[in-house]
Amino acid sequence: MRILIWHVHGSWTTAFVQGPHTYLVPVTPDRGPDGLGRARTWDWPASVIEVPPERLRDEEIDVVVLQRPHELALVDRWLGRRPPLVWLEHNAPDGDVPDTRHPAADVPGVTLVHVTHFNRLMWDSGTTPAAVIEHGIIDPGPRWTGELDRAAVVVNEPIRRGRTTGTDLLPEFARAAPLDVFGMRTEGLAEHIGVPADRCRTLDLPQGELHTELARRRVYVHPVRWTSLGLSLLEAMHLGMPVVALATTEVTEAVPPGAGVVSHRIDVLTDAVRDFLADPAHARAVGEAARAAALARYGLSRFLDDWERLLKEVTR
């Protein structure tokens, strides 16, 4: 098939474009949000082709994957027609939960796809048919060494996002273990949360270096209160890291017993962090269980097979 999809979510799209199709990605001269083109920090295959908006009317397109509300208007303007439409929703609802109505609700000709069962449960999609295709991860391999007795956190813009990403919880975790917080716009985080700089270091690394550096830390901490399901959590599990996470949204499904510690109680979570730091052998064993669980549920082949079935169904 020839699939039109905007470059919106780099990690997710990197897995999606591993399939057997041709992927048309809009590109504009300024490479703005509606025309980023091919990824520059992820390895995308040659089957991902950049197409300027003015050429899209002449392209054969079998299906369009929408990810943002305004993209439907771009389809009408740039294509002048509506091929079969799949609306991929990456996020949990953010608003009057649980009454938040999805933008695709009752839109004719759209199939809505959620990335977690929690999201499908919480969004009101009206009469629009909805499905779930869980994440797929390109396996980075079992890289955990745990040589650094520090805890890793991955979050973008923790100062701006605040309670959503559990930024206010980081001082508690920093008392249990020194933190290395990876992500964009993390500068000034230690001062913002009022902890010494050596207890909360920040790093913004290229994608190619991130996994290796994460795996050098003893434990992965996921303090996020409200998100869909952080890919960084699944990637940490693939790396063989033991994980400590808030029992919110989809986390209780993603981290089975034995693969980490999941709780609503901060004292339980901080005690777990201390235990992993104090016992590297225990951390290794739990990390191996986390990797096995992630491979079984979030493997790339299952993800691509699920998408193949859905794309054939919507274009039949």
Report the alpha-carbon distance of residue 106 to residue 296 in Å, rounded. Answer: 35
| 292-295-299 Cα angle (round to 5) | 175
In the beta sheet, which residues pair with residue 301?
Answer: none
Quote the percentage of the chain above a pLDDT of 90. 95
Q: Which residues contact 202 (CB under 8 A, 6 or more apart)?
A: 180, 181, 182, 183, 186, 187, 189, 190
Find, among 72, 89, 84, 62, the residue nearest to 8 by Cα: 89
Report the alpha-carbon distance of residue 129 to residue 147 in Å, rounded. Answer: 48
From residue 257, how far is each of 71, 289, 314 by CA, in Å? 40, 9, 37
Structure tokens at 4: 């039109």
pLDDT surpasses 90 at 208 = no
**Contact present, 4 and 72 (Cβ < 8 Å):** no
What is the average pLDDT across 107-124?
97
Q: Say which residue the tokens 């079992």 belong to.
A: 142
Confidence of residue 311 (pLDDT cuts 50, 70, 90): very high
Confidence of residue 162 (pLDDT cuts 50, 70, 90): very high
| Cis, bond preceding 20 (omega within 30 deg of 0) | no
What is the tens place of the pLDDT at every residue in 74-95? 999 999 999 999 999 999 998 8
What is the tens place of the pLDDT at every residue in 248-265? 999 999 999 999 999 999
- Count other C-beta atoms under 10 Å from residue 191's C-beta: 12
